Amino acid sequence: MRLQKRLTPCLRLGLSLGLLTLGACLGPVMINGKPTPRQSLEYTGQPYALRHLNAHPQPGGASSGVKEQGGRITGVICGSDVDMNVTHAGDHVELYGMVENQHQATLQISETQGFHTIIGSIAFREVRLELYGDRLRGFIGRCPVDMQQEGDALTDTVVSSGQQMRRRLNGLDALWKLPSAPQALILPMVVSCLVEKTFENLGRDTPSLGFGGAMSSQPPGTLRLATPSNRDCGADSMLRPGR
């Protein structure tokens, strides 16, 4: 009884449900000696809609030195529900949680000399991406990525089984304007969405995908996370940035 009196209403509710989501039970952040309210933020793009609850009001960059709980990100990306807790860990930002209510996801973003590195895993797929001012390279699962700037987009051309396929992600400026935590989640999942939609019809009728702007959606199961992917993604063929 004494313990219950010391708990906040948020913690009591979480314990009564057998759940405890740290991102939903956070108070103000002390900044310059003053308590500063946390923020609720929303992000939309093609194809995602997210809410960042109890976000840090002044997180700075991914490696800004801030050490604090960073709230919780929930929503849908490419037809997959996401629910991730955020931690600012000084020289990087960590995200951990669930995708599609069954797959574990762990991601980490850091910043070095102006470029961002995102590492971790989403379900069975290892993630390693490097985002420069005008280039994105790395891999997700077996799928390599090497995209370069073309206007406000990132593009590349991948060849698989003799079929040449051009890929494009719009909204490069909007991508760079995303805070580190949502960027670490949105970027690999939107890239995965692009891969799936590109190979779905061998590069024909690929939907417009990208960052910022009006929300669009894709059907559940688009990312095919339930089983390890056997798609070659052009990994055994030529991959060229740009045209």
User: Could you list the pLDDT tens digit for every one of the 243 residues in the chain?
Assistant: 343 444 444 544 444 444 445 555 778 888 888 988 999 999 999 999 999 999 999 998 899 989 999 999 999 999 999 999 999 999 999 999 999 999 999 999 999 988 999 999 999 899 999 999 999 999 999 889 999 999 999 999 888 777 788 899 999 999 999 999 999 999 999 999 999 998 887 767 788 999 999 999 999 999 998 876 666 675 554 444 444
Q: pTM to 2 decimals?
A: 0.86
Residue linked to tokens 């490696």:
63
Give the C-alpha separation, 123 to 84, whole Å: 13
Residue 80's SS3 state is strand
Question: Rounded to whole angstroms, how far apart are CA atoms 61 and 120?
Answer: 19
Gap between the Cα atoms of 65 and 91, Å rounded:
5
Say which amino acid occupies 51: R
Backbone angles phi, psi at 177, to 5 degrees: -80, -10
CA 125, distance to chain mean position in Å, is 13
